[in-house]
Amino acid sequence: MNEPIKKQNPQIPESYKPETPTLLNKLEGISTDKIVETYNIGGATIELIDRPEIIFAGAIGFASKIGEEPDIDYIAQRMHHYDENHAQFQNPITRMIENKTEPVFDICISIDYWRGKTARWGMMFAHEVSTKKQPWGVDIFTLPAGLYLRVLNDA
DSSP string, 13-79: GGGB-PPPPHHHHHHTTT---EEEEEEEETTEEEEEEEE--EEEEEEEEE-SSTTS---HHHHHHHH
| Phi, psi (deg, nearest 5) at residue 23 | -60, -45
Question: 84 in a domain, yes or no?
Answer: yes
Q: 33 vs 17, which has greater pLDDT?
A: 33
Question: 21 in a domain, yes or no?
Answer: no
Rg for the chain (alpha carbons), in Å? 19
Question: 93 in a domain, yes or no?
Answer: yes
pLDDT at residue 50, as a whole number:
94
Q: CA-to-CA distance for 41 and 155, rounded, in angstroms?
A: 16
Structure confidence at residue 7 as a pLDDT band (50, 70, 90) = very low
Structure confidence at residue 91 as a pLDDT band (50, 70, 90) = confident
Give the number of domains in the chain: 1
Question: 65 in a domain, yes or no?
Answer: yes
Question: 154 in a domain, yes or no?
Answer: no
Question: 66 in a domain, yes or no?
Answer: yes
Residue 89, pLDDT above cutoff 90? no
Structure confidence at residue 5 as a pLDDT band (50, 70, 90) = very low
Q: CA-to-CA distance for 72 and 53, rounded, in angstroms?
A: 26
Range of the domain at 135: 54-143
Question: 80 in a domain, yes or no?
Answer: yes
Question: 32 in a domain, yes or no?
Answer: no
